[in-house]
Structure formats: structure tokens, C-alpha cells
Amino acid sequence: MTFSDNKEPSGHTESSVPLELVEENMVDDDTARAWTEAVARHLLIDSPGSKAQPLRESRSSSSARKKKHPKIPETQNDAEEELTPSKKGTKRKRKSSVLLDPGIEAMVLHHVREAMYDIRPSEARSKPFMYWNPSKETACAKMLIKRTPALRVMADSYRRNEFARLISGAARGAGNNERSAQVRQIKLIYLDGKSDFALVTDYVIGASANGALKQMRISNALSGEFNDIEDLRNALYSPSMYTYENLFDLFCAALESGRFRATNQMPISPIENLITVAHEAHFRLELWYALTAQSFRHDTARIACEERAEKHHNLCLLVAQDRRENGTLAFNNRNCTHATNDDDSDHSDDSDGGVDSQFY
């Protein structure tokens, strides 16, 4: 294939692909590179412990012409208004829905998953992606854009807030779905009696169960520290969880195991290296909620979502206090205990309405 000016194309494609389609879907080098890197990272999310395989840069991406991503025409953005006849024969304005480009939607979904499972602390200190203001339609999208360089590059080619409005529905829907999936994983690791890190026994995960529900009980590993479930809940929502040595050990061991998505197995480490304050508060809050009743499910009403976000903020303060006052001693005790156990056996050990910046 050659261009109409008889010059050689900068990249190769099938001869059956219309030139107009190629030109309309060209993006600049930064966007293409960010997209391929996002796909590479996305492939690791469901494969804990695997090493990233670098993507080879294609000839087309390395020599593609710099051209901004095409803007969605004025008539297609979500602020579009159409004139429609009313019952009285006059015309009134109504908003019409917009179909998000499949390529952009796929990119948003990839970055939502990547952001949701990014629980490890890092020097980049990316803004945590777990809670957003439910009363603001674009809050979820803006949080995602702020923490994602590839999406910021695309947003720059649109008018102010236009890109956030464009992807708001996809970002919010994917965010809710992935958060639900993460909460279920938290329950499977910490509340399922078959897990090595179970805090309780006889807990039912899900909305249905056959026959009468059993009374959940404290697991054997924690039986010496807590008398009942309410005592455990109080410890989770407090500034002194780290003082319960068995509970702290189970909580950290699960984070080090690599069983959580997008995490690798780690040796015994300070909790500051395993999970951010914001994510730890998120995990502890979900366990606190889940232990209120068997088969617990969140209320999706707006007021309940606002209450949940407020409780998370308060628990962030308690977790930060726990780390300041008890973190070092808790790690030293845990490290000493495991070192002693290793000496006694031949077995070795098998991690905009958003979160305040001090917690990540």
C-alpha cells in the first residue's frame, strides 16, 4: 500500500485496510507507547508472581507520525442536545447518550483494573483508586485520569472536562465491578475457613446458602486473642490492631503471600512495604463490614456509599496512628517469632472525593 502522494508509508498494514481507516486511527507515539505498556501490565494482574515480558516496539509505533487522537465530534459528546417534538407540538431540548469508542473503552477498563489492584506503596505515590464522590458524575473518571499518564495525554486533546465526561460511565461501571471483585477476594483470603489466613470459621460468602446459617466463630489461630466476633471487629476498626500479635501476623502473611491480584510473594516485611495506609484501611473496613452478618452485601444507596467513604477516611487516620505508635514493635515481635520458628524446623516460609494524599 502507498499513500496518494506516492510516498512510502511509515508503517506496514494489510492492503485490504482502507487508507482512511488507518489515518483516522493514528495516534501519537506517547499514546501508543502508554497503551502497549498498559496492556503488558494488565496481563500480569491475574498472574501473581509472574515476571513482566517487555513488549517489542513495532516498526509502526516507532516511526508513526505524531498526530493527536481524533476528537469526538461535537454532535457525539455527552453534552449533546437534540431538538425533539413535545406533546404540544413545540420543540424541547434533550440530552442524548454517547457510544464510547471501543478502543478508548478498552484502555479505560485496563487502567481501572491496574489502579484498583495497585496496593503496594511506591515512590510515585499514585492517587489510590477505591472511593470517589458518588454525587459527582465525573469524579471517578477524574481520579483515574489524574493517576494515569496515558489518559492524561488523551485528555489534553479534548476541551476541559470533555474527556472525563466521555469516559465517566465506563470508568464508574468498571470501578464498581472491580472493587466488588477485590472485596470478594479479601473475603476469600481472610474469611474463608479453607484459607491459611482465615480470621474466622463457618463464614458464608455470597447471598445464598442452603439450610440454616451457622454461627461464625473465631478461628483457632485467633482464639487466644478474641472471645467473639465483636471483639475482632473492634480491633479491626481501631488504632491498636497491631498490638494483637496473631491477628497482625495473619494480616501481613496474607499480603506477603502474593495471593492478591497484581502482587508478588514477599519475605517477612514491615507493613509499610506491603500496603499503603489507604489500602490497609480499605481492607480492614471491608472485613469490619463483612463480619456484621453472614453473606453481607453493601447497600448501594448514595447515602450508604457516602457513609462508607466517611468511615474509610476515619479508619485511615486510625491506621496511620497504629503505624506510628505500634508498627515498629509489631514488626520486630513478628520477625523475632518467625526467626525462632525457622531455627526449630527445616521448613521455610512459603502481599476529587478521593483519598487524602497523606495516606499513599
Give the residue-averaged pLDDT of 112-121. 94
Could you give the residue ranges of the DSSP H alpha helices within the chain?
Answer: 19-24, 29-45, 59-63, 102-116, 139-147, 149-155, 162-190, 229-236, 245-256, 271-274, 277-290, 302-343
Identify the residue with better confidence: 10 or 237.
Answer: 237
pLDDT at position 119 is: 95
Do you know the residue count of the chain?
360
Angstrom distance (rounded) from CA 322 to CA 327: 6
Residues with Cβ within 8 Å of 91's Cβ and at least 6 positions away in sequence, in order, are 83, 84, 85
pLDDT at position 318 is: 98
pLDDT at position 273 is: 96
Could you give the count of Cα atoms lying within 13 Å of 152 in the half-sphere of its Cβ? Answer: 6
Identify the residue with better confidence: 82 or 331.
Answer: 331
Calculated CA dihedral for residues 164, 95, 71, 30, nearest 10 degrees: 20
**pLDDT, tens digit (0-9, with 9 covering 90-100), for 282-319:** 999 999 999 999 989 999 898 999 999 999 999 999 99
Angstrom distance (rounded) from CA 298 to CA 281: 17
pLDDT at position 25 is: 58
Burial class of residue 303 (count of CB atoms within 10 Å of its CB; 0-12, 13-18, 19+): exposed
Asked whether the beta carbons of 356 and 309 are under 8 A apart, the reply is no
Q: What radius of gyration do the chain's Cα atoms show?
A: 25
pLDDT at position 33 is: 72
Q: Please, what is the average pLDDT of the chain?
A: 79
Instruction: List the one residue out of 104, 38, 108 whose CA is nearest residue 71.
Output: 104
pLDDT at position 216 is: 93
**pLDDT, tens digit (0-9, with 9 covering 90-100), for 139-184:** 999 999 999 999 999 999 999 999 999 999 999 999 999 999 999 9
pLDDT at position 159 is: 94
SS3 74: helix
Instruction: List the one residue out of 169, 171, 146, 168 whose CA is nearest residue 156.
Output: 146
pLDDT at position 99 is: 75
C-alpha cell, 357: 494524599
In the block, residue with C-alpha cell 514477599: 266
Lowest mean pLDDT among 185-189, 208-212, 292-296, 356-360: 208-212
Instruction: List the one residue out of 4, 12, 1 whose CA is nearest residue 63.
Output: 12
pLDDT at position 311 is: 97
Give the residue-averaged pLDDT of 112-133. 90
Angstrom distance (rounded) from CA 203 to CA 196: 14
**pLDDT at position 138 over 70:** yes
Share of the chain above pLDDT 70, in %: 67
What CA–CA distances, in Å, run from 181 to 87, 117, 172, 177, 260? 46, 10, 14, 6, 11
Asked whether the beta carbons of 95 and 137 are under 8 A apart, the reply is no
**pLDDT at position 341 over 70:** no
Q: Give the pTM.
A: 0.70
SS3 83: strand
Angstrom distance (rounded) from CA 327 to CA 243: 9
pLDDT at position 268 is: 96
Angstrom distance (rounded) from CA 182 to CA 188: 10
Identify the residue with better confidence: 155 or 352.
Answer: 155
Q: How confident is the model at residue 214 (pLDDT cuts 50, 70, 90)?
A: confident
Asked whether the beta carbons of 105 and 111 are under 8 A apart, the reply is no
**pLDDT, tens digit (0-9, with 9 covering 90-100), for 9-64:** 555 444 455 555 555 556 667 766 776 776 666 666 655 554 444 434 433 444 44
Strand partners, 218: 200
pLDDT at position 70 is: 45
Instruction: List the one residue out of 359, 272, 352 whose CA is nearest residue 314.
Output: 359
For CA atoms 152, 178, 251, 305, the dihedral sign is positive
pLDDT at position 66 is: 40
Asked whether the beta carbons of 172 and 135 are under 8 A apart, the reply is no
Domain boundaries, the chain: 186-359
pLDDT at position 347 is: 40
pLDDT at position 8 is: 53
**pLDDT at position 78 over 80:** no
Share of the chain above pLDDT 90, in %: 57
pLDDT at position 29 is: 72
